[in-house]
Each structure stands twice: as C-alpha cells, then as structure tokens.
Chain A
C-alpha cells in the first residue's frame, strides 16, 4: 500500500481540563474524499486546527506524504495543506481577485524589494498569479465579480471564494469545514459537484459536514467523531448501518442525551 497523503496518528488535544480530542487517527489516501461527521462539540474543527498547525496536538502527530508537518500554519500551507472555515474568513476589505491572490502568496517568490522595483521578473510573477487566480475563480464558478469587495458577495459565493483561495496555495490536501452550511439544496448539489471536480485535479479532500446525506453521497470513507473520540470509520454503507452512529444521530435515552448536550456545550465554550 502506498503512503497515505495525509495521516493523523493518535492525535490528542487537551485544553486545560478538557480533552477535546482523544487519540484520533485518520488516514487519507491520495485522490480520496474523507468525511468527518459528528455532533456539535465533537472536536471536528479542533481536529482541523491540529491538522493545519493552528494548534499543536498535545500528543500524536500529523504526517503529510510520510513527513511530519511543522507546527506553524504558514509552513503547513507551504507543505501542501489548505483549508476553509466554518465561519467564513475572507479578507473582507480586499477584492475577490485579491483574496485569491493572497492564497498565491506562498507560491510566489518576490521579496519585499523585488516588488518595489517593478522589474520584469516581478511583472511576470504578478501576471502569472493573477492569471492562475482568475482560472480558479472560473473553476469554482465565480465569474465577473473579481473586482467586488469580498464582503459584498452573497453567502454561497463567499464559500466558493474561500475554496478558490485555498486552492490557490496548490494544496495536496484540502480541508473543508462545513462547506454547505447555510446553502439551499441547489447550492449544496453544486458544491458536491465542485468537490468531485477538485478531486479530479488530484487534490485529496477532508470534509466536515452536518448534512449526512451530502456526506454519504460524496465521500469514499467516513469517520464519525463523538466527544473527541473516533467512534466509527469506514465506507458510507458501513457507517450508515452502524448502530452507534444511529444512536449518536437519532437519539438514545433522555438522560444520556441531556448529558451529551451539557458536555457539548462545555466543549464549545472551551473552544470559543
């Protein structure tokens, strides 16, 4: 078996007394789409933060193509992991095109002085970045809005812009944090097609989502995270049939539910 493109080994994250992640292991094979589901406060976003260097895992490690990822977001991006956010985090006062070009930052070479003396190498670099950024905007289906401020875009377009910006870093792995949150069924469908097309370009994808139907229709494999622990992982069919998943999503005795709700609320608070 070839080396997986992304591998999280036994990742734990402790905030004070709260164990947000308890030994989570996840493997992403090249060219696959892996879904990560679980109730609110299960630690999904925390896990993404560990994968991208925003958090340093308390124990465990994250490997990209067999190499341990550095604990620094900028270097993780350079190594080839990009992400989007659950709460959209575009640069609000920059234009759509500029947002994507910031994503190109890591693949451009001009230092502070090169950009001062507009030499030919600088001009070429800027032009190439601009062209690539336009391609990506077209790829995600954002045409004719490149000079708008990103904060003025409709919600669904902002999500697509975030994906274009993440793709601009030339990632090997793309992490999508609730890419269809707040979308209508048509937009959700379009997003699914977009993620398939992203995979066709050779990028492997991890998706966090609450929409179970979306995840089961999209992913090659699904991991279920509950209270910081990996509950089940496997193909959509296996996960769908697992009684523990059914319980986590469809319910269990009221007193246990109450307990879960409190734990989830505490975890959310801790994260915020």
Chain B
C-alpha cells in the first residue's frame, strides 16, 4: 500500500512536469495545426540555458540559492523564448501555407539542429551532467510517502501556471484573439487580429512553460542530458493527444494520467520501469480507438 501511495505521489510530480511541456504542444497545434516536434528540444535547451546561467554567475552568488535559482529561471526561459521565436520566424512561418507535411518534417529537422547546437557548447551532453544544487532540499513526509520539496514546487508551479494560462486565454483580449485565430484564421484577420502576432505569442507562451519545466527537471532529477527533450517531448505529445489536442485542460489532465501510468505501471506491470512506455502507448491507443478526438478535444468540424 505504501509503495502504491509513493508511486502515485511520484506520478503526480512527473505529470506536473509533462503538463508544462504538453501545454506548448497543444497550444501551437490549436492555433496552426502543427505538431511542433521541436518543442521537447525547447524544454531541453532551457535546461541547458539555466545551467549555463549558473556557470556564468560569480562564485558568491552561486552559494546563494535565493538569488541563483531565480536567475537560472530567467536565463533558461530567455533561451527558450529566443529559440522558439527564431524557430517560428525562420522555420515555420515561411511554410505557413505549405502542405502540412512540410512543417512537420521541418520540426524534426529543427529538433536535430537544436540537439547538435547544444553539443557545440556541451560536447559531453550525451552523458549526465550534474545540475546545480540550488533547489529546496529535503522531503515532505506524509505517513510513509516522501515527496521532495522540489517535486512539490514543480506541482505548484505547473498547476498554477496552467490555471493562469487558462484564465488568460478565456478572459483577455489576446486570449480571445488566440481562440478566434484557432477557430477561423481568415475571419479573425477581418476582425483586426494580426495572425503573426498571435502565433508568435503562442510560441512564446509555450517556451516560457517549457523553460520552467526545463529548470525544474534539472532540480528534481539532479542530472540532465541531451536526450531529455526527446523523451519528455514524446510523453508530453502523448499527453496532449490523450487530452485532446488543442485543449488546455485536456493537456494537463492527460499529463497527470501519463505520469501516473508511468510510475504505477513501472512498479507493478511486468517489465518494470523499462516498459513504462509500453503501457502509456497502450492507453493512448485505447483512448484513440474509442474517442479519437481525445478526452477533452472537440470532434473535427467540417467548415462550411
């Protein structure tokens, strides 16, 4: 029983991490129907950006987590946003009206490019790099369940940012513009909405969330390596599809489902953690068979 509770707690923390990344997938898809496969790499780049920021800090600041950690967030998020904006401007915008396959292939290319770009600065990035110890230490213990304070911080950030995002999209001028563009880009233009601004804003929001995730990943697992973007990107993409691509709530709930399946199945199913992927995709396939639009997605509409 205590093992199950512990794994459920771990699953919630992992779900929180996946949710932050999944939001970027689902928002970009909602607006321009692009599965941005490079989004996982934005998360990875942010993590390295945070690490680089820490390395550049003077020694006395490195010893002060209260200063170093916020600066790492700023550094990681700035790197993620810059990468995302350049990616949108030069890789995706020229292909806006191209057949759907073209930007998809481009996304894969951007993904490889970003991995190799990081290796220019970190030649050993294939192996684990230790992450700075500037995160809250120790555990919260409830009964037999231990959750690290960093894990709790991750859950709080993830849920908090998701709520802010949902409010932003539902209740602000730019949020309405985003939804309008997602539903009918031509008509949105005729309401004076500039689609380029809406799209770039979407990429920026996704990058900020991925940036937070990138830093917290390093803090939670203590190590980073260059494969983190691909692995977690796949989980996040799956979460977005599970929840219904384009839906904010769906992405978050999908992410927590994936996190829980991953830890619980890794514990109890044959094959252990090495097979956790398998169970995640089994669930994905089942959901797609019975509810192709995902848990919270809207059925594909036919436009008149």
Taking beta carbons and an 8 Å cutoff, which residues of A are in contact with B? 52, 54, 72-74, 76-78, 82-83, 85, 87-94, 98, 101-103, 105-108, 110-112, 115-116, 122, 125-126, 129, 165, 169
Contacts and interface: CB of A to CB of B under 8 A. Distances in A.
A115 B168 contact: yes
B304 A94 contact: no
Given A89-B187, A93-B179, A93-B183, A105 B172 contact: no
B173 A110 contact: yes
B58 to A, nearest CB: 30
Nearest to B169: A115
B193 interface: yes
Interface centre among B175, B187, B201, by most chain A C-beta atoms within 10 angstroms, is B187
B128 to A, nearest CB: 36
Given A87-B304, A93-B298, A115-B175, A102 B188 contact: yes
A85 B191 CA distance: 13
B207 to A, nearest CB: 13
B192 A105 contact: yes
Contact of B176 (A105, A112, A122): A105
Contact of A115 (B174, B183, B189): B174
Interface centre among B164, B192, B194, B304, by most chain A C-beta atoms within 10 angstroms, is B192
Interface string B175-197: 11101100110111111111100
A76 B204 CA distance: 27
Contacts of B190: 52, 54, 73-74, 76-77, 82-83
Contacts of A83: 190
A142 to B, nearest CB: 18
23 contacts: A54-B189, A73-B190, A74-B189, A76-B190, A77-B190, A83-B190, A87-B304, A89-B184, A89-B304, A91-B183, A92-B183, A93-B179, A93-B298, A98-B176, A102-B188, A105-B173, A105-B192, A108-B173, A112-B174, A112-B204, A115-B175, A125-B173, A129-B173
Given A77-B192, A102-B177, 20 more contacts: A52-B190, A54-B186, A54-B190, A74-B193, A74-B195, A77-B189, A77-B191, A82-B190, A87-B304, A89-B304, A90-B187, A91-B183, A91-B188, A94-B179, A94-B183, A98-B176, A105-B193, A111-B174, A115-B168, A115-B172
A193 B187 CA distance: 26
Contacts of A125: 173
Given A87-B304, A105-B192, A110 B174 contact: yes
Contacts of B193: 74, 102, 105-106
A89 B171 CA distance: 22
Nearest to B246: A93
B68 to A, nearest CB: 26
A90 B180 CA distance: 9
The B interface, classified by DSSP as helix, strand, loop or mixed, is helix
Contact of B192 (A78, A94, A101, A112): A78
Interface centre among A74, A93, A103, by most chain B C-beta atoms within 10 angstroms, is A74
Interface of B: 164, 168, 171-177, 179-180, 183-184, 186-195, 201, 204, 298, 301, 304
Contacts of A92: 183, 301
B176 A85 contact: no
A220 to B, nearest CB: 25
A115 B188 CA distance: 19
Contacts of B184: 89, 91
A197 B59 CA distance: 72
Contact of B194 (A74, A98, A165): A74
A100 to B, nearest CB: 10
A145 to B, nearest CB: 18
A89 B301 CA distance: 13
A103 B301 CA distance: 23
A5 B189 CA distance: 22
A91 B192 contact: no
Contacts of A77: 189-192
Contacts of A106: 191-193
A20 to B, nearest CB: 18
Given A101-B176, A105-B173, A105-B176, A73 B186 contact: yes
Contacts of B183: 91-94
B301 A91 contact: no
Nearest to A76: B190
